[in-house]
Amino acid sequence: TLRLICTTTAVQRKSVGASGPEKYTEAFIKKQIEEFNLGKRHLANMMGEDPETFTQEDIDRAIAYLFPSGLFDKQARPMMKHPTEVFPEQRKIQWGEDGRPFHFLFYTGKQSYYALMHETYEKFLNVQKHQDQLVPEDVPLQKEKRNLAGSRWLTKIELEEMLLEKLSDNDYSRFIQLLQKLVALPCADIEENYIQKFSKEVPVQLQKVVIEPLQYDEQGVAFSTGEGKRKTARATAVVYDNGTGKITVNGTDILHYFPVLQDREQLLFPFQFLGRIGKHDMVCTVSGGGRSAQAGAIRLASAKALRSFVTEKEVEFMRQAGLLTVDPRVKERKKPGQEGPRRKFTWKKR
Amino acid sequence: DDKLLTEPLRHPDFFSVKELFTLKDLFDARVHLGHKKGCRHRFMEPYIFGCRLDQDIIDLDQTMQHLQLALNFTAHVAYRGGIILFVSRKRQFCHLVESTARACGEYAHTRYWQGGLFTNARVQFGPGVRLPDLLVFLSTLNNVFEPHVAIRDAAKMNIPTVGVVDTNCNPCLITYPIPGNDDSPAAVELYCKLFRMTIIRAKDKRRQSEAIEELR
């Protein structure tokens, strides 16, 4: 084989593997901050404003004025930001001038994560020690159940943001298991502060829709309105109390408007479900859609109106029966290369 | 500055490490207890005193000598401002080892050892990393009862090693082996205490000598 002897230095240099992201020293960042402050004052002078009260928004406006750019991507336009925002926190060099790292778990690779595990385990041991001291005194184990339904642990992404380090799924699940073990101990109330750093409140709303109160018209008859939709049909219904079960749609009786039995059954379903068939009167307006769609829209509107007449338990029953959910099905679009939304063209062997 | 570094090297026991432990301390901490005869490693036979009811007993006289050499070496490394890394893969003592390291102001690694930590340090950490100058093993085996990868990596990177070797461990690549028990909590607590005291003593002596030099 031929071996190249007269080569350039570039070829002789051994191929070095790709190094990780660039690291920044503390001194470098300090210098950048000084330069930024100086530049801010110069900019304020240039714009004729007071250097002391020159905020970040003023800086952005000034830069946009002095360096107009037509680029679409906002991140690509010239910007002047504080160095702590520009240089990400984790890229700082983690050791001092003599070479000694700052963190005692630096050589593990994932220092913040392991430090967190170490601290949590220490709290765990503390609680166990406390428990052991209490046992001989025969104190009844105080167990106030933490509101488990109202709180959740931090997600993996939130934990990564907190630690400024990448985590794997295994690591995350291990940490959550340790936290759960800690919480399961009887005397875990001591470390409540620490545990709250990792739990978040879940808003226990469960789609609490506001039920409107009944309105009263001139004769003192109670009524309420509801709106509903289905496919392209939109309907509004007004349900009156102390009625005989008469239903009017767009000024005409339902027998004339909906000749088909199926549509009339759809209209009556909410009343039948609540057992109030002959008790209410209804006047509705509907537009758009076809015959079935209009029936479905009026059904939803009347169910929504009936919520005001009925107890909360029955509202929950209606919700579970599906009377209060908007039907999301609409006509699917036709795709190119196919005859319809799903049907493909006839396949011919040759 | 030169005198600071050469002065300790003239005395055999500059940091009076021998006073820190006695044979009775080692015996009370159950350091002499080894594993069963079937687990014995061939290269540990010189360090074993005997075998009683199938359980190996480690020779505490030899342990004393080895321990004294190892502690003396760690003290010298700490005096010269070296980085000491405590390694142990025993889950029971992980917390203890990390707290000891933190108390000394040194470093610890009691978790899963990633492949290229030493050999690929420049890529994993950054271009100007400083690797440890001494590795201290509180247990040379990992969770699968095989020699810890760090022993081989330290030998590759020319980093001296101090390690507590039990009767089922391989003492070959370790520069200062300490034959002794690595499974009992009492024994491991004793080792942690000894290492902590030597390192703190060495650092204090360094600060004192520097202060004396500055006063002149």
pLDDT of residue A148: 61
For the four alpha carbons of A65, A66, A68 and A69, in that order, the dihedral sign comes to negative
Residues 6+ apart with CB under 8 A from B184: B29, B30, B31, B33
What would the DSSP string read from start to end of B127-172? TT----SEEEES-SB-TTSSB-HHHHHHHHTT--EEEEE-TTS--T
B33 vs B27: CA distance, rounded Å: 9
Over residues B76-95, the mean pLDDT reads 94
Task: Write the residue in B111, B126, B132 that is nearest to A23 by C-beta.
Answer: B126
- Residues of B with Cβ-Cβ distance to A18 under 8 angstroms: 123
A57-65 long-range contacts (CB < 8 A, ≥24 apart) are none
Q: Which pair of structure tokens corresponds to residue B58?
A: 């480690």
- Residues of A with Cβ-Cβ distance to B129 under 8 angstroms: 95, 99
Tell me which of A26 and B64 has the higher pLDDT.
Answer: B64
Tell me which of A213 and B18 has the higher pLDDT.
Answer: B18
pLDDT in tens, B156-189: 999 999 999 999 999 999 999 999 999 999 999 9
Residues 6+ apart with CB under 8 A from A100: B81, B83, B130
Give the distance, in angstroms, between the CA of residue A278 and the centroid of all CA atoms in the same chain.
45
Over residues A13-35, the mean pLDDT reads 75
Cβ–Cβ gap A98/B102 under 8 Å: no
Q: Which chain B residues touch A if contact means CB-CB below 8 Å?
A: 81, 83, 85, 95, 98-99, 101-102, 105-109, 111, 114, 117, 122-130, 132
3-state SS assignment for residue A169:
helix
Q: Which pair of structure tokens corresponds to residue B140?
A: 């040379």
Strands B176-179, B161-165: parallel, antiparallel or unpaired by DSSP? parallel
3-state SS assignment for residue A281:
strand
Tell me which of A9 and B185 has the higher pLDDT.
Answer: B185
**Percent of chain A whose pLDDT exceeds 90:** 43
Say whether pLDDT at A206 is over 60: no
Q: Considering only alpha carbons, which residue of chain A is nearest residue B112?
A: A108
Say whether pLDDT at B198 is over 90: yes
Q: Which pair of structure tokens corresponds to residue A33?
A: 């901050």
pLDDT in tens, A70-122: 899 988 999 888 988 888 766 677 888 888 999 999 999 899 999 999 999 99
pLDDT in tens, A286-339: 999 899 999 999 999 999 999 888 888 888 888 889 888 999 999 999 999 999
Residues 6+ apart with CB under 8 A from B83: A99, A100, A101, B106, B107, B130, B131, B132, B133, B134
A245 vs A250: CA distance, rounded Å: 17
Query: What angle (nearest 5°) sits at the alpha carbon of residue A102, between those of residues A91 and A104?
Result: 115
Average pLDDT, chain B: 93
B88 vs B70: CA distance, rounded Å: 17
pLDDT of residue B180: 94
Assess contact for A245 and A277: CB atoms under 8 A: yes
pLDDT of residue B206: 94
Alpha helix ranges (H) inside chain A: 9-12, 26-47, 56-66, 83-86, 111-134, 156-163, 169-184, 192-196, 254-257, 261-274, 291-306, 312-321
pLDDT of residue A237: 92
Average pLDDT, chain A: 86
Closest by CA position to A188, among listed A125, A127, A132 = A127
B113-116 long-range contacts (CB < 8 A, ≥24 apart) are B113/B89, B113/B142, B113/B148, B113/B149, B113/B150, B114/A109, B115/B149
Cβ–Cβ gap A101/B107 under 8 Å: yes
Q: What share of chain B is helix, strand, coil (3-state, %, to 5)?
A: 45, 15, 35
How close does chain A come to B12, measured CA to CA in Å?
28
pLDDT of residue A277: 86
Q: Which pair of structure tokens corresponds to residue A252?
A: 């005409």
Tell me which of B60 and A191 has the higher pLDDT.
Answer: B60
**Matching CATH number, A215-321, of 3.40.605.10, 3.20.20.70, 3.40.50.300, 3.30.230.10:** 3.30.230.10
pLDDT of residue A316: 85
Q: Band of the pLDDT at B109, cuts 50, 70, 90? A: very high
Closest by CA position to B199, among listed B96, B95, B81 = B81
Say whether pLDDT at A23 is over 80: no
Assess contact for B101 and B107: CB atoms under 8 A: yes
pLDDT in tens, A211-263: 777 888 888 888 889 999 999 999 999 998 888 888 999 999 999 999 999 99
Q: Band of the pLDDT at B61, cuts 50, 70, 90? A: very high
Cβ–Cβ gap B127/A99 under 8 Å: no
Over residues B71-94, the mean pLDDT reads 94
Over residues B94-112, the mean pLDDT reads 94
Number of helical (H) and strand (E) elements in chain B, helices listed first: 7, 8
pLDDT in tens, B113-172: 998 899 988 888 888 889 999 999 999 999 999 999 999 999 999 999 999 999 999 999
Q: Which residue has the tokens 């101990």?
A: A185
Domain boundaries, chain A: 26-86, 106-138+145-201, 215-321
- Residues of B with Cβ-Cβ distance to A115 under 8 angstroms: none
The pTM assigned to this predicted structure is: 0.72
A130 vs A126: CA distance, rounded Å: 6
Over residues B3-24, the mean pLDDT reads 91
**Percent of chain B whose pLDDT exceeds 70:** 100
A75 vs A62: CA distance, rounded Å: 16
Cβ–Cβ gap B117/A99 under 8 Å: no
pLDDT of residue A176: 94
Cβ–Cβ gap B122/A19 under 8 Å: yes
Q: Band of the pLDDT at B84, cuts 50, 70, 90? A: very high
pLDDT of residue A4: 66
Residue A14 DSSP code: P
Is A102 an interface residue toward B (CB < 8 Å)?
A: no
Over residues A30-35, the mean pLDDT reads 92
Over residues A126-155, the mean pLDDT reads 75
Residues 6+ apart with CB under 8 A from A106: A94, A95, B107
Q: Band of the pLDDT at A132, cuts 50, 70, 90? A: confident
Assess contact for B157 and B54: CB atoms under 8 A: no
Q: Which domains does chain B have, with CATH numbers?
A: 22-215 (3.40.50.10490)
Instruction: Name the region of B152 (left: φ>0; alpha: ψ -120 to 50; beta: rest).
Output: alpha
pLDDT of residue A210: 75
Tell me which of A148 and A325 has the higher pLDDT.
Answer: A325
- Exposure string of A254-273, with b = 16+ CB inside 10 Å and e = fewer, is beebbeeeebbebbebbbeb
pLDDT of residue B215: 93
How close does chain A come to B181, measured CA to CA in Å?
25
How close does chain B come to A115, measured CA to CA in Å?
10
B172 vs B41: CA distance, rounded Å: 11
pLDDT of residue A222: 87
Residues 6+ apart with CB under 8 A from A295: A258, A262, A263, A264, A266, A267
Q: Band of the pLDDT at B1, cuts 50, 70, 90? A: confident
Interface test with B, best of A107, A125, A126, A167 (most B CBs within 10 A): A107
How many residues in chain B? 216
